[in-house]
Amino acid sequence: MTFINYVAREINCKIVYYGPGLGGKTTNLQHVYGITTPENRGKLISLATETERTLFFDFLPLDLGQIRGFRTRFHLYTVPGQVFYDASRKLILKGVDGVVFVADSQEERLDGNIESLSNLRLNLKEQGFDLAKLPYVLQLNKRDLPNVLPVDELKSVLGVKGEPVFEAVATTGVGVLETLKAIARQVLVELRKSA
């Protein structure tokens, strides 16, 4: 739920990067952090295990300019993809305005993607959200690897509602900004509708 602070003239939106473990969610945020100027971003906060797996979440606040005199802030979060951290994922989805699903394009991760997507639907439902109505983008990550499934196949299995789909290589930044822009655009459209 978008938080509009009329006193501070600020709009705060929450975007959550969801997807299977090791799919590249944290890498997306690291890239965004790396290419934004310090004036437009806050600290990247990561709560990770010793092996760099997300333990609770990553958090990056981004300042994306003004809308009708209101400063617009996007708060980017990632969830931990590992199956057993479901309680954290539920918590992080609270008040979400838009979701990016980061799929791992590798053939052997197809089941992991499907499981994570159904977990997303379920957790959104529990929070009173309907994936069909929420701003949503699908990112097909790790396109640089040799054992990836064709884009059309991934789209047909993982596509939810004709959402924008981006091919990405998060480690080099390919598709990362495009993905973020697409979800931000959808969130802003929703915001205008409700304003």
Ligand X SMILES: Nc1nc2c(ncn2[C@@H]2O[C@H](COP(=O)(O)OP(=O)(O)OP(=O)(O)O)[C@@H](O)[C@H]2O)c(=O)[nH]1
Which residues bind to ligand X, rule: CB under 6 A?
Answer: 19, 21-27, 52-54, 78, 80-82, 141-142, 144-145, 169-171
What's the rounded Cα separation, in Å, for the pair 117 and 87? 16
Q: Which is nearer to Mg ion, 70 or 85 (CB)?
A: 85
Q: Work out whether 72 is an interface residue with Mg ion (CB under 5 A).
A: no
Q: Work out whether 54 is an interface residue with Mg ion (CB under 5 A).
A: yes
Query: Which position's Cβ is nearest ligand X?
Result: 81
Contact 18, 187 (CB under 8 A): no
- Choose the one of ligand X, Mg ion, none that binds residue 82, judging by a C-beta under 5 to 8 angstroms depending on kind: ligand X
- Choose the one of ligand X, Mg ion, none that binds residue 123, judging by a C-beta under 5 to 8 angstroms depending on kind: none
β partners of residue 138: 101, 165
Residue 44: strand, helix, or coil: coil
CB of 87 to ligand X, least distance (A): 15
CB atoms within 10 A of CB 87: 9
CB of 22 to ligand X, least distance (A): 4
CB of 131 to ligand X, least distance (A): 19
Residue 146: both structure tokens together: 């040799």
Question: What φ, ψ does residue 164 adopt, rounded to 5°?
Answer: -60, 135
Q: How many residues bind Mg ion (CB under 5 A)?
A: 3
Of 26, 36, 106, 139, the one binding Mg ion by CB under 5 A: 26
Contact 100, 18 (CB under 8 A): yes
Residue 26: both structure tokens together: 């944290």
Rg, C-alpha atoms of the chain: 16
CB of 17 to ligand X, least distance (A): 8
Instruction: Provide the binding-site residues for Mg ion, judged by CB under 5 A.
Output: 25-26, 54
